[in-house]
Amino acid sequence: MLRHHFTILLSLWSALGMAQMHQPVFSNLQGGALIQALQDTYRPNNLLSYGDARDTLYRNIDARNDTLYCVYTGYSVYLPPGADPTTAAFENGTGINTEHTYPRAKGAEAPTPEADMHHLFPTRALVNAARNNFPFTDIPPNQVNAWYYLDQEQSNTPGSNIELYSRVGDQVFEPRDDHKGDVARAMFYFYTVYQQEANAADPAFFAQQRATLCQWHSADPVSEKEWERTHGIAPYQEGKPNPFVLDCTVADRCYCEGIIPPCTPPVSTETAASVRVSARIFPQPARGQAYLEISLPEAAVISVKLYRAQGQEVLHLPGNFYTAGKHQIKIALPQEAGVYFCRLQWEKGAQKGGKTLKVATF
């Protein structure tokens, strides 16, 4: 009989961080010393393959209720449960493709930079092509060649909701307003951890956008969605989030001094203590099924999902109410050997959090 064993490695993030959305990063460093420390600490050495990264991003990170949204336009596609996420999203070229915020031609080549999910986003295929390898900037309305929103494209300036449109000009691109900060922090991340690759491809590319990116970082601070996203990606990338999301002062200390006012890290106004959940899976190794043991300091709603590394969901235990104390949740393990990720999520009122457990067969 072929036996499949599972070992579990935990990568954790806390609801406390979500309440404040700030985690200090090398507070005593700046300039070149800080950039070197970020390279040494946050550059991942082992990533998913590009195909697995796209599937994981689409299914596990960016999908909401099995629907994937273009970050540039709000255009959406439905991902049927069990279907290959990348194929389903692409819709034979009319749907959603993967945007390399830092273009492949400018340094994001295979194997590692290409598959780093911290700078990959789902975008409508047509708009992805329109962005091309163009740098980001603010484009005056009278210099816009095309405006993009949902599945629409127009040459005339929109009469309303102009902030919802992405736009392309003469070899430049401007995303919709609510994605500008995300773009800036993805660009800062890539140029920092893959600086050698970026400069080898085009040493002027980042420099020509630096001031714009600093302004976007300041004008569009980290949202809860962006905070959750970087911590959702981290377990697939050696537990390493994007440090420019963790600490708003990192951009100031690396690239933005004298361009924008110094960032003031957010301070939590929450008075209630955040829910801290400890968890383990046993036995180890496990075969056929295992038990997820959780310890709750107070009552919360708990849900569990199990995914293949490629992104397909293989188990979903909907949210159930659990009282304070220890509980055991039975997890049915797939028969196929491979790598799986178990996602534990909890909610207590407005407070939310999660843990991701990496499950490997051998």
Domain boundaries, the chain: 22-256, 270-361
Q: Are 13 and 234 in contact (CB under 8 A)?
A: yes
Looking at residue 312, what is its pLDDT? Answer: 67
- What's the average model confidence in pLDDT over 60-87? 95
Under the banding of pLDDT at 50, 70 and 90, the label for residue 314 is: confident
Predicted TM-score (pTM) above 0.75: no
Residue among 219, 232, 224 at smallest CA distance from 58: 232
CATH class of segment(s) 270-361: mainly beta
Rounded-to-integer distance, Cα 102 and Cα 108, Å: 6
Tokens representing 12? 């954790």
* pLDDT, tens digit (0-9, with 9 covering 90-100), for 76-126: 999 999 999 999 999 999 999 999 999 999 999 977 899 999 999 999 999
8: pLDDT strictly greater than 50: no
Residue among 319, 216, 214 at smallest CA distance from 257: 214
Looking at residue 319, what is its pLDDT? Answer: 87
Residue 267 vs residue 70, higher pLDDT: 70
11: pLDDT strictly greater than 70: no
Rounded-to-integer distance, Cα 10 and Cα 102, Å: 30
Residue that the structure tokens 């067969």 belong to: 361
Under the banding of pLDDT at 50, 70 and 90, the label for residue 14 is: very low
Rounded-to-integer distance, Cα 217 and Cα 256, Å: 9
Residue 261 vs residue 71, higher pLDDT: 71
Strand runs (DSSP E) across 117-229, as ranges? 120-124, 146-149, 152-154, 166-168, 173-174
* pLDDT, tens digit (0-9, with 9 covering 90-100), for 133-175: 999 999 999 999 999 999 999 999 999 999 999 999 999 999 9
DSSP state of 25: -
